[in-house]
Amino acid sequence: MRKLRIGMIGIGVGGAEILPAMDAMECVDLVAGADVAQTTLDRFKGRYPRAKTYLSAQDLCDDKNVEAVWISSPNRFHAPHAIMAANAGKHVVVEKPMAISLAEAAAMVEAAEKNRVHLLAGHTRAFIRPIRVMRKIIASGRFGGLRALNIWSYSDWMLRPRTADELDVNQGGGVPYRQGPHQIDTVRLLGGGMLRSVRAQTGDWMKERPIPGYYSAFMEFESGLPATIVHNGYGYFIGGELVPWGEDKQVYTARQRADIRAALRAGTRDETAEKQQIRIGGSREKEYFAGNAQAVWTPEDMGFAVASLDSADLRQSKCGIYVHSDQGKQDVEIERGDETGVVQRRAELEELYDAVVNGKPLWHDGRWGMATLEVCLAMMQSARERREIMLSHQTAMHPDYDSDLPMPGV
Ligand SMILES: NC(=O)c1ccc[n+]([C@@H]2O[C@H](COP(=O)([O-])OP(=O)(O)OC[C@H]3O[C@@H](n4cnc5c(N)ncnc54)[C@H](O)[C@@H]3O)[C@@H](O)[C@H]2O)c1
């Protein structure tokens, strides 16, 4: 099998999260890693002895053996690193948020087009199989038209260890930039892509964490379809508690979350050390990602999504999709194993592989990512200006996307 040779820039928590997917994919060869932290490079080399390591992103981009680059460096580097990689002739997958500003995103799109490389805006939950199956059911028309989308999340995002840049909204810190893309990408995928406007409020409720930890947004599609998204990252109530199998699948217990808040208030938390523990080779890496690797769904960071149609509601079940219709409640199981847990995040890489190796279209291209970023930015602008923001960079998802994904028997 033809292998796609990938290099990773920024081997942090987000980078580590995709490694199991890369390990599981025969068609991917992780041949290089770049990070400014030597310890991280040493740990990466320990796990991937054949891979080259670089202290600079430019050196990785100059490596002739690298065909595509996975960018999981801090948000402020997404644009410069993506442009650097594109100018070196590499295909790019960029972590969410795609960039910090629309000007940056436009420059990324331009660099990819100029250099004739693929730019994929990836690693959002919209890529997971259950969401794509939901889209399939919606698009089939089996239950009439789509009437409303609602996605609500209650997470402990604000309590996880953070670096200084993550606590600065100007560098892409906070829940709207970091968690918005999961829900926005999902809403756009299920609703077809073309949002018209957004009205939102953000909340900055914890003085030890001077970034927004909350948002609620009402969005309207060009078609008139309404959607709401909510994310509360302060971690008092956790969405996982809504399902009986979710209680013990959280990173922190309620007691630990209270202790973290107390340490933050007292200024006694060593976040640098704590974050290092969950990066590659750290003492808590496996434990931290255990929840992600599980083969069952819980309303973790993306929350729970409900799509309402004329004659059905669709939402995620433990291992698939519940279809609540006039026939009752059907649980459509989705294959376990490779398709669930963290490994399902291979979808971005499969899409890139198909585009590079098999000449298929790239569905989540730079313009798709830019449209999602536009909504993130509009949420924050709407909150500041207390008004509805009209959108102008939206793109539709092509109807052929996932045409080879089987339609479930519903
Ligand atoms: N999609 C997801 O589920 C998910 C999860 C976590 C993080 N992320 C994304 O990953 C990105 C990084 O966040 P994180 O939590 O992993 O932070 P992190 O600090 O753990 O990771 C960033 C890494 O980049 C390295 N780095 C910093 N500057 C660099 C440079 N100039 N060149 C090369 N490497 C550099 C750091 O040393 C660090 O190892 C963010 O964009 C975040 O949104 C995505």
* CA-proximal residue: ligand 1, atom 38 (nearest): 12
Best residue among 17, 19, 55, 72 to mutate for probing ligand 1, ranked by most atoms within 8 Å of CB? 72
Q: CA end-to-end span of the chain, whole Å?
A: 35
- Nearest atom in ligand 1 to 301's CA: 3
What pLDDT, on the 0 to 100 scale, is given for residue 291?
60
Give the C-alpha separation, 81 to 73, whole Å. 8
Best residue among 11, 17, 36, 276 to mutate for probing ligand 1, ranked by most atoms within 8 Å of CB? 36
- Nearest atom in ligand 1 to 96's CA: 43
- Nearest atom in ligand 1 to 124's CA: 1
Q: Which two tokens stand for residue 223?
A: 């078609």
Give the C-alpha separation, 139 to 376, whole Å. 25
Best residue among 54, 73, 128 to mutate for probing ligand 1, ranked by most atoms within 8 Å of CB? 73
Tens of pLDDT, residue by residue over 337-370, are 554 444 567 889 999 999 999 999 999 999 999 9
- Nearest atom in ligand 1 to 17's CA: 5
What pLDDT, on the 0 to 100 scale, is given for residue 236?
96
Nearest alpha carbon to residue 131 among 142, 139, 141: 139
What pLDDT, on the 0 to 100 scale, is given for residue 271?
94
* CA-proximal residue: ligand 1, atom 21 (nearest): 12
- Ligand 1 site: residues with CB under 6 angstroms? 9-15, 17, 34-37, 40, 57, 72-75, 77, 95-96, 123, 163, 178, 275, 279
How far away, in angstroms, is 311 Cα from ligand 1 center? Answer: 43
Best residue among 53, 94, 95 to mutate for probing ligand 1, ranked by most atoms within 8 Å of CB? 95
* CA-proximal residue: ligand 1, atom 40 (nearest): 74
* CA-proximal residue: ligand 1, atom 15 (nearest): 13
Nearest alpha carbon to residue 332 among 406, 399, 246, 401: 406
Q: Does a cis peptide bond (omega within 30 degrees of 0) precede residue 161? A: no
Give the C-alpha separation, 67 to 28, whole Å. 11
- Nearest atom in ligand 1 to 75's CA: 41
What pLDDT, on the 0 to 100 scale, is given for residue 292?
59
What pLDDT, on the 0 to 100 scale, is given for residue 290?
66
The structural domains of the chain, ordered by start, are 4-125+342-365 (3.40.50.720), 126-341+371-390 (3.30.360.10)
What pLDDT, on the 0 to 100 scale, is given for residue 339?
45
- Pick out the chain residues at pLDDT < 50: 339-342
The model's pTM is 0.96
What pLDDT, on the 0 to 100 scale, is given for residue 77?
98
- Nearest atom in ligand 1 to 40's CA: 39
How far away, in angstroms, is 155 Cα from ligand 1 center? Answer: 20
How far away, in angstroms, is 332 Cα from ligand 1 center? Answer: 35
- Nearest atom in ligand 1 to 10's CA: 24
* CA-proximal residue: ligand 1, atom 19 (nearest): 12
- Nearest atom in ligand 1 to 278's CA: 20
How far away, in angstroms, is 12 Cα from ligand 1 center? Answer: 5
